[in-house]
Amino acid sequence: MHIRSFAILLTVAITSSSLFAARPKNVVFILSDNQSYYEMSCHGHAQIKTPNIDSLAKQSVEFTHFYAEPYCSPTRTVILTGRHAMRSGVFTTVAGRSIMHRKDTTLADVLKTNGYSTAIFGKWHLGFSYPHRPQDRGFEEVFVHGGGGVGQMEDYYGNSLFDTTFIHNGKVSPSKGYCTDTLFDQAMTFVENHRHEPFFCFVSTPVTHSPHHGPKALVARLKAEGMTDNVELNAQVMNLDMNIGRMTRKLDKLGLAEDTLYIYASDQGMSDRGAPHGGLRITQAHDPAQHVPFFARLPGARPAVCNRLAGMIDFFPTVLDYCGIESPVESDGVSLMPLLTGADWPTDRTLIIHCPRNRNATMWKNASVKTERWRYTNGMKLYDIQADPRQQTDVAAQYPEVVRHLRAEYETFWESMPNQEQTLSRHLLGATACPDVVLNGMDWYKGASPWNRGAFQGQGNGAWAVSVVRDGRYVVECRHYPREAEKSAEASHARLKIGNDQYDIDVAEGATHATFDIQLKVGDYDLETFMTTADGKVRGALFVYVSAK
């Protein structure tokens, strides 16, 4: 070869290498809601056909022993913080304990700081008042619904999975068509618009959370083909599969496949619903409530099936490791990049999942300590997963040393948890960044725990934990229904109590709300409301709008 030719080739090689090294590393994460590990054809479901998910599995490192929290908000907290949900004060999905603490650094925060465009499409369920909204937590593009599922009390009034009304960057945004299709339309537009820069695209679908209403044409087709069981649910999954195929083809068409970590998972195990061996109705500390699918398509990695123990706690450090970003916070998880790339991995690890499902956390309630071989649940029962994968036989008495070891692991974990009062998330009133705040009854941290449409017919009451951040005048508007409903408050009298101060006002017949104009001083308070109905019953206002003047 001539020296000149060699020099040209060397220059081209160096330039190509530099260009490749400079290309951004992107992340697309699709998280389905309440979808069982078995609700896909590649995992043995008898009726559901998921060719696109099956294809993605073949292109990915598929984890067969991957675990999440057994409820929505805790899992989403773990995903976004890389830390146990109890560290963020997230113990359940309602009752003031589904709000990720404002002091926590999120994955979106870190990526945004490092030059990434960040977006979320679909379900949030980690707080909808300032400063807990997704736009307050590092997401630049926000296209979401309220509550834990479409149509819940916190969601836009009257919402459904068809022609869903979303909140797009803080503004009401009606849509046409089926919700999952709309979310993927928005997500793919984001991906295309940001294809020349690093991005984090989080598609968090409301399906397969109830209500189980699938696309009407698909439901009709499945019924015509003879499907009779769980048709609506199955249609939701099959539509999700179709949209995953759309996203896969979009990434391929845009030439992003070689630069994008592409992950698909679900947020909880659903007790093995749809499994060939049948569902298992056991406690939330057992594997079927926590076992989720997890497929990761990593550029350049060889597709494989990984049987090692891993979990959602590992998502945060894995993404940052892939992106080459040093984490500013200490994670409770570990990077899975060695497993994705075929490198060495420790022979064993201990994975702890604890989801109290209550306003207060207590030791061992819904707690699971996992190793490659063992499962120790609720501080009582031990199972040998290798011999007994369905956790039917307690062998604690046969292995006292194993029990002692796993108890000690859990006790160290428990002792590391922060004071529960310090992790309570308060709604900030009067912040310059957001002078108008909406409170809803899903976040009552005392009293009742409303969450669905049935709450509008109920008589419950509760209190919000608030922090007034500046002295001044505030207008407080109390409603039984949200503003968009424009329905009567069905009250004759209203009382507002903030700390030790109390205010009363009569409500005109048919009025939609009661308005208080008051002075507040900086401090932490309980905010309570009392709406007296015409028949003398008292209930709390489910929606309170607070404006700092």
Residue 22's pLDDT is 55
Task: Domain 352-415: give its CATH architecture.
Answer: 2-Layer Sandwich (3.30)
DSSP string, 505-541: EE--TT-S-EEEEEEE-SEEEEEEEEEE-TTS-EE--
Total residue length of the chain: 549
Domain ranges of the chain: 24-343, 352-415, 427-548
Amino acid of residue 285: A
CATH topology for 427-548?
Jelly Rolls (2.60.120)
pTM, two decimals, is 0.95
Inter-residue contact 479 to 489 (CB < 8 Å): yes
Residue 266 in 3-state DSSP?
Answer: strand
Residue 33's pLDDT is 98
Please indicate whether the domains covering 352-415 and 427-548 agree at the CATH topology level: no
Residue 51's pLDDT is 98
pLDDT tens string, the chain, 549 residues long: the values are 433 333 333 333 333 333 334 578 999 999 999 999 999 999 999 999 999 999 999 999 999 999 999 999 999 999 999 999 999 999 999 999 999 999 999 999 999 999 999 999 999 999 999 999 999 999 999 999 999 999 999 999 999 999 999 999 999 999 999 999 999 999 999 999 999 999 999 999 999 999 999 999 999 999 999 999 999 999 999 999 999 999 999 999 999 999 999 999 999 999 999 999 988 878 999 999 999 999 999 999 999 999 999 999 999 999 999 999 999 999 999 999 999 999 988 778 999 999 999 999 999 999 999 999 999 999 999 999 999 999 999 999 999 999 999 999 999 999 999 999 999 999 999 999 999 999 999 999 999 999 999 999 988 999 999 999 999 999 999 999 999 999 999 999 999 999 999 999 999 999 999 999 999 999 999 999 999 998 999 999 999 999 999
Tokens standing for 502?
A: 């109390």
Residue 534's pLDDT is 87
Which class would CATH give 24-343?
alpha beta
φ and ψ of 464, to 5 deg:
-95, 145
* Bond from prior residue into 347 cis (ω within 30 degrees of 0): no
Residue 5's pLDDT is 36
Counts of helices then strands in the chain (DSSP H, E): 10, 27
Q: Tokens 């040998």: give the residue.
A: 384
Inter-residue contact 527 to 498 (CB < 8 Å): yes
User: Hey, CA dihedral for 316, 322, 323, 325, is it positive or negative?
Assistant: positive
The whole-angstrom separation of Cα 152 and Cα 135 is 21
